Amino acid sequence: MVAMILTSILLLGFFGWGVYTLNRRLRYRDEFSLTTELITLSAVLIFYVLEIDQLRDILRGSLLLQMFGAVTLFVSGIALYGHMIISFGTRLLVETVSQGEDFAPDQPRFGPAETLERQHDYAGALQQYLVLARIFPSHAAVSLRVAQCHIRLEHPTDSVPWFQRALRFSQDQQERVLVLNQFCEALEAKLDDRQTARHVILAHLEQYPNCPSAASLHRRVERLSAEKETLPDRLELTRLDEAPLEVASDEGGAAPHRLIHEAISLEAAGTPLGLLEDDEPDEAGESGNKPSSLALEAIETPFSAPEEDEDSRRNGNPSIGLDAL
C-alpha cells in the first residue's frame, strides 16, 4: 500500500513537472539553466528506476503488461522531457568543444563585424564595432578595432580618439605596445604628424621605462627626432632653389640678378633711378640700400630697347623698355 502511494506521488510529480516545463518552453520560449536541466533529468532517471521496479511488483504475473507499462513511461518521458534532453545535450556539447573567452558574458563577440570586414564592408563593420563600444566602453580591443575601421575608411582624424581610448584601457604591456605601434603608424603615414607620434612614445616610455619593447621604441624616437631636426634644412633648401639666378651681361661678366630686382623694385616704388646715380653716401658712409652703377648698367645692358624699324615708327608702336618689365 505504501509503495503504491509513493508510486502515485512520483507519477504525479513526473507528469506535473513535465507539463509545466513543456509549457514554459513552447509558450514563453524560456531557457532553463544547465543546473535545472541536469537536476530534472537526473530526477526523471531515478523515477524510471523506482517506477519500473514497482511495476514488476504490481504486475508480477504478466510480462506483457510490464513491457507495456515500461514503454508507456518511456514514451511519456520523451514527450514531456525530450526538449530538455536535446537542449541539455547540445549546450553541453557546444560549451565543451568551444571553450574560450568568446562565450563569456563579459567579453565582446566580434563574429558579425569580422564577417563584414572579410566582405570589405568596413562601414558596416564600423557600425557593429560602435555598438560593441557602447556595450563594452572600457574594452581596449573594441576601441582598437573602431580605430582600424576609421583608418580603412580613410578617416584618420576620427581614429585618433579611439587609439587614445585603446591605450588608456590596455590591460598588459603586449597589448599596449600593439596599440602604440598602430597609433604611431597612423600619425606618421596618414596624418604626417611625427611630433605627436614622438610625444606618444615618450609618454609610454616615461610610464613604462622597463617594458620589453623599450629598445625598439627608443630607436623609433631617435628616428623621429632626426627627421624633426632635418626639417628646417629641407625648408632652407627649398628657399635656395627658389632664389633668382644670375644672368650674364653683354660684357661677358655676371651681373647679380639681385641688383636688377632691387633697382626694378625701387623704380616701381617711385624712386627715380637718375637720383640714385648722383646721390652721395650719407655721413655714416652707409649706402647699402642704394643700387650701385653696376646695377644700372645691368639694367640698361640686357634689357635695352631694340632699334625701332620703319614699320614700328610708321605704326606708332612704342618700343619695349624697362617699364614693360
Residue that wins the pLDDT comparison between 77 and 221: 77
pLDDT on residue 192: 86
User: Has residue 150 got a pLDDT over 60?
Assistant: yes
pLDDT on residue 62: 84
How large is the average pLDDT for residues 167-188?
88
Q: How far is CA 160 from CA 121, 145, 181, 196, in A?
A: 21, 12, 13, 11
- The residue extents of the domains of the chain are 2-95, 111-240, 246-277+291-300
> Three cell numbers at 163?
587609439
Q: Would you place residue 125 in the very low, low, confident or very high pLDDT band (cuts 50, 70, 90)? A: very high
**Per residue in 288-320, pLDDT tens?**
444 444 444 444 444 444 444 444 444 444 444
How large is the average pLDDT for residues 152-170?
92
Q: Would you place residue 215 in the very low, low, confident or very high pLDDT band (cuts 50, 70, 90)? A: confident
248 beta partners:
254
Proportion of the chain above pLDDT 70, given as a percent:
67
Proportion of the chain above pLDDT 90, given as a percent:
30
Select 111-240's CATH number: 1.25.40.10, 3.10.20.740, 1.10.3720.10, 3.40.50.2000.
1.25.40.10
pLDDT on residue 228: 59
Q: Would you place residue 104 in the very low, low, confident or very high pLDDT band (cuts 50, 70, 90)? A: low
DSSP H or E stretch at residue 224: helix 214-241
In sequence order, which residues have a C-beta less than 8 Å from that of residue 322 and are 6 or more positions away? 264, 267, 299, 303
**Per residue in 68-101, pLDDT tens?**
988 998 999 999 999 999 999 998 888 777 655 4
Using alpha carbons, select from 204, 119, 213 the residue that is nearest to residue 163: 204
pTM, rounded to two decimals: 0.42
Residue that wins the pLDDT comparison between 144 and 29: 144
